[in-house]
Amino acid sequence: MEIPVVKQILSANDEVAAGVRDALAQQGILAVNVMASPGAGKTSLILATAAGLPARLRPGVIEGDLASTIDTDTLTARGIPAVQINTGGNCHLDAPMIRAGLAHLPLAEIDLLFIENVGNLVCPAGWDLGADAAVVIASVPEGHDKPYKYPGMFAAADAVVLNKADLVAYFDFDLAYFERGLRMVNPDAPLFVVSCRTGNGVAAWVNWLVGRAKR
C-alpha cells in the first residue's frame, strides 16, 4: 500500500520541478543542486565559486537546513542573495520548497542559482528540484569509501567535487580507490579535487560551471 503513495508524491514533486525548471529557463538562470554530507563544504564551495566567477555570472543561493540561518547569514554577509529554507525534520529539499524560495529572491539579478540541499548522502538524490545540474561534494576527512557506500548519490551526479584536498597528508585517503568507486557507478561525471581553504583546484571546477551557464 505504501508504494502507490510514494509514486504519487514523487509524481507531484516532478510536476512542480518541471515548472521550476521552466521558470528558471525563462530567466536564463542556471540552477545547480549541491548535495553532500554535513561538513563536507557545501557553503565553502559556493563561496569559493562565487569569488572565482566572471562578473557576468551573478550568484544566488537557496539554502536548505534542518534549522538555523547560519549559512544564509554567511552568504548574505558576502553580498550573495540568499533565502533560507528550514525543513524541520525533513532530510531533503523538494520542488515545492524551491518554488516557494524563488519568490523571495531577486531573480533578475541572478544568473547562477545554487540550491544547497540538506546535508545528507541518501534522500536528496531521489528528488528533482528543477535544477539543471546535480553536484555531489565529498571531502577527504570523510574517507575514500563514500561512492561505494552511497552509490545512488554518486550515480546521480553531473559532477563530483572532492573537497579538503589539502588534508590528504593527515588522513589515510586513497584517491585512486575513491575514483574507482565513482567510476563504477558514474563513468562520465568529471571529478574535481579541490581545497576551498587554499583555492587549489577551484578554477577548474569554476570553468566547468561557467561552461554550463546559459548566459
User: Domain residues of the chain, as ranges?
Assistant: 2-212
CB-based contacts of 11, cutoff 8 Å, min separation 6: none
pTM of the model: 0.94
Q: How far is it, in rounded angstroms, from Cα 210 to Cα 182?
A: 23
**For 167-185, what is the mean pLDDT?**
96
Name the grid cell of 120. Answer: 545528507
Say which residue the cell 509514486 belongs to.
Answer: 7
Q: How far is it, in rounded angstroms, from Cα 116 to Cα 133?
A: 12
Q: How far is it, in rounded angstroms, from Cα 183 to Cα 177?
A: 10
Question: What is the DSSP secondary-structure string of 157-186?
Answer: -SEEEEE-GGGGGGTT--HHHHHHHHHHH-
pLDDT of residue 4: 57
User: pLDDT tens digits, residue range 124-148?
Assistant: 999 999 999 999 999 999 999 999 9
CA distances in angstroms from 25 to 95, 126, 207, listed in the order given: 15, 22, 21
Architecture of domain 2-212: 3-Layer(aba) Sandwich (3.40)
DSSP code at position 142: G
pLDDT of 7 strictly over 90: no
Q: Label residue 109 exposed, middle or buried (CB < 10 Å: 0-12, 13-18, 19+).
A: exposed
Name the grid cell of 42. Answer: 557545501
- The distance in angstroms from the start CA to the end CA of the chain is 46
pLDDT of residue 116: 98
Q: In what order do the strands lie in the sheet with 82-86?
A: 82-86, 59-65, 112-116, 30-36, 133-139, 159-163, 191-193
pLDDT of residue 112: 97
Beta-bridge partners for 161: 137, 192
User: pLDDT tens digits, residue range 44-57?
Assistant: 999 999 999 999 99
pLDDT of 3 strictly over 70: no
